[in-house]
Amino acid sequence: MTRAMERSPGDNYTATEIIYLSQIRDLLDAVPELHRVRESHVRVRPKPTSQIGVDDAATNPTELSHMVTYCQNVAIDNLRSLELLLRAKPPGIFLPQYGAYPLIRAVIESSAQAVWMLRPNESRERIARTLRARRGEVKHELGLRQLMNAPDDSDSPQVRKAKATARQDAAIAAKWWDKTVARLAGEAGITAAATSEGTPGYGPLLEDASIALGVPGAYSRSIWHMVSGLSHPSSTRGLAFSRVEELPGTTSRLKVTRMTADPRVVQSALSLGVAFYQAAEDLLVTRLLTPATR
């Protein structure tokens, strides 16, 4: 019998766990400044002669800087939400059993995608990745619109007609984007095949983005896999990466335990998320300040 519980500030942590909690606290302490810097970056208009200014001109109306801004805004919003959650019971750090993991996962995925788009030194590759990201979004958006407006036997004639119109409009919008991406790719000297697949899966994307961190891609990918499993109802993953304590009442036939969040797991995942976030901000500044070469 296992009880899944949150860790409150008064729980009996080991000396090693207290170190991890201190590191989590340090990461959370940095969030307000990260947010302040993000707000300042949102207000910056790239110079047309900068690297990202040239990239934006080549990717308009799906500018690289806009795509990066959205990714980073998603990441910082999840970091701020995480700060509120983990500081819910001051003065210590409050670790819910599972609630932190979806937020950390969103930070990792969003900022890693920003890094993936910004990292290449070659403008053509940055443009290609921006177009791939847009094409992937369009594909998923079309699928969602078609699903939301799928016909049902209970639909009235009016509803059925409205749904058909919505599906048609979604298909027209997707086709317009496909043509726009193809045109922008051609103007940049990029083959259609280079943008046809959309954004890669998060596994390969994380391995590529990890180059900017100077860490092995397999490490980042494994942390992401771990957090993903903890964000879903996987009992195997939960038992493997949680803190399990034996409680009174255990017998030879029945083990009574308490399963709580492991500070080491939270710290390692949050550290990676913040590292990707900061790497994306640093790369953005580089692309903003570096003049484009002709």
Element (H, E) at 230: helix 217-230
Q: Is the peptide bond between 200 and the residue preceding it cis, with omega within 30 degrees of 0?
A: no
Which of 4-8, 92-96, 160-164, 223-227 has the least mean pLDDT?
Answer: 4-8
- The pLDDT value recorded for residue 2 is 46
What average pLDDT does the segment 69-79 reach? Answer: 98
What average pLDDT does the segment 122-150 reach? Answer: 96
- The pLDDT value recorded for residue 196 is 86
Closest CA to 132 of 171, 175, 190: 190
- Under the banding of pLDDT at 50, 70 and 90, the label for residue 75 is very high
Left (φ > 0), alpha (ψ -120 to 50) or beta: where does 260 sit? Answer: beta
From CA 107, how far away is CA 157, in angstroms rounded?
Answer: 44
Measured on CA atoms in the order 204, 206, 211, 212, is the torsion positive or negative?
positive
pTM > 0.85: yes
pLDDT tens readout for residues 55-67: 999 999 999 999 9
From CA 292, how far away is CA 127, in angstroms rounded?
Answer: 13
pLDDT tens readout for residues 179-219: 999 999 999 999 988 998 889 999 999 999 999 999 999 99
Q: What DSSP string runs through 29-84? A: HTHHHHHHHHHHHHTPPPPTTBHHHHHHHHHTTS-HHHHHHHHHHHHHHHHHHHHH
| Token pair for 76 | 């910082």
Q: Indicate the SS3 state at residue 14.
A: coil
What average pLDDT does the segment 260-280 reach? Answer: 97
Which of 81-90, 174-183, 262-271, 273-282 has the least mean pLDDT?
Answer: 81-90
